[in-house]
Amino acid sequence: MKQKSIAVVGAAETTKMGKIPDVSVIGLHADAALNALKDAGLKPTDIDGVACAGLSPVELAHYLGITPTYADGTAVGGCSFMLHLRHAAAAINEGLCKTVLITHGESGRSRVGAGGFGRASSSLMGQFEMPFGPAGPPTMFTIPVLRYLKTYNLTVEDLAWVSVIQREWAAKNPRASFKDPITVDDVLNSPMIAWPFRMLMCCLVTDGGGALILTSADRAKDFPQKPVYVLGTGESVETPMVSQMEDFTSSKAFRVSGKKAFGEAGITHGDVDHLMIYDAFAHLPLYGLEDLGFCKPGEAAAFIRERNTAIGGKLPLNTNGGGLSYMHSGMYGMYALQESVRQMRGIAPAQVPGAKISVCHGVGGMFAASGTIIFSNEAP
């Protein structure tokens, strides 16, 4: 896409976050959408493009009273919103629509109006993975990690540091679910979920949602909020089965998506002021830092332990506390995007002073898919 041709002009999360037993899934989508519309000074009838995952864009459009000329139901897991944003940018540039609303809502904890988790027993995953006992993401997303640790001579303590440092960021965020400091010992003594993963290396399970509104950069300056420009985008998919990922020490989808986004944005890694890497589990920031090219293979653990991604470090990472401490409703990508937008607007609870470029990197499924968005707050 053309750099800075599109901007985020509305962004908001659900009114409440964490445990919301009195709102259904579609209600969370709508609550986030109405908050984002208010943020942008728009009414639902001003929207002519819709995108969402988990819910059909038909359900979303009808519920909100929108008659779109563009609808995107891309559903590739937690990074679907990065892909929605990327597709919306292309659609607006192509003239398919003018103003796109992307929503997310998930009753991950309370399960109000939420569907079940399952795969058809005739699918490849149903045939060649499910019979061997996977019980959700903590037992699947984590499968490559022992190979990663052995390849780079790392230990579970290296995973624990990821959780510890992200909790330091969460402490600065009033909306974070967990704010109390933790130590490496705390992480290594928390209950074992699936060796080598302990509870504090796994994300939260919460309720919430978020929404974004995009339009062309030339219209963006007429909106009430400071526009956040889209500088570059990337996406890719690899495999629906974690057992079939090409390289257990690196995600092909991460590498392809990240390279595409950096290429479009025309920036180097040294230009990046702020970074979000979807952290459903503690190993994901390690894979992300390496696959996006911020660290050489095997060096991300030391990079984090040496506090480069911590408060005051040169590459602030997951400044909302991440999926490990802030919130994680199931498809966390929307909350990573919200934090990038807050940082670019200069209003984040743990604001990175003077940040001009933010990279937001998402994962979908168990290393199945990826999307990367690079934002800038400087006008084209």
Q: Does 144 bind another protein (CB under 8 A)?
A: yes
Q: Residues 334-373 vs another protein: string with x where CB under 8 A?
A: ----------------------------------------
Q: How far is CA 259 from CA 70, 366, 372, in A?
A: 28, 20, 9
Residue type, 357: I
Question: Closest Cα partner for 275 from 336, 348, 349, 347?
Answer: 336
Give least dist CB 165 to another protein, A: 24
Residue type, 337: L
Among 134, 210, 288, 371, binds another protein (CB under 8 A): 134
- Does 155 participate in binding another protein (rule CB under 8 A)? no
With beta carbons less than 8 A apart as the criterion, state whether 153 and 193 touch.
Answer: no
Out of 45, 67, 69, 121, name the contact with another protein by CB under 8 A: 121
List binders of another protein among 220-279 (CB under 8 A): 241, 243-244, 248
What type of residue is 245?
A: M
Q: Is 130 near another protein (CB under 8 A)?
A: yes
Q: Which is nearer to another protein, 142 or 225 (CB)?
A: 142
Task: Examine residue 122 and tell whether it contacts another protein (CB under 8 A).
Answer: yes
Distance between CA atoms of residues 67 and 205, nearest Å:
33
Structure tokens of 248? 């257990």
Q: Stretches 15-23, 57-65, 120-128, 321-329: which one binds another protein (CB under 8 A)?
A: 120-128
Task: Return the number of the residue (145 or 363) whose C-beta is nearest another protein.
Answer: 145
**Do residues 177 and 18 make contact, with C-beta atoms less than 8 angstroms apart?**
yes
Residues numbered 195-214 forming contacts with another protein, rule: CB under 8 A: 195-197
Residue 307, token pair as written in the block: 């506090």
Using CB under 8 A, which of the segments 78-86, 97-105, 121-129, 293-301 binds another protein? 121-129
- The smaller minimum CB distance to another protein, of residues 146 and 347, is found at 146
Residue with tokens 């959700």: 136
Question: Is the Cα torsion angle 321, 327, 331, 336 positive or negative in sign?
Answer: negative
Q: How far apart are CA 198 and CA 81, in angstroms?
A: 28
Distances (CA, A) of 282 to 73, 147, 351: 29, 15, 23
Applying CB under 8 A, among 19, 38, 147, 269 the residue interacting with another protein is 147
The reply on whether position 184 binds another protein by CB under 8 A is: no
Q: Which of 160, 107, 377, 378 is nearest to 282 (CA)?
A: 160
Q: Is 115 in the site for another protein (CB under 8 A)?
A: no
Question: Residues in the site for another protein, rule: CB under 8 A?
Answer: 120-122, 124, 126-135, 139-140, 142-147, 150, 191-197, 241, 243-244, 248
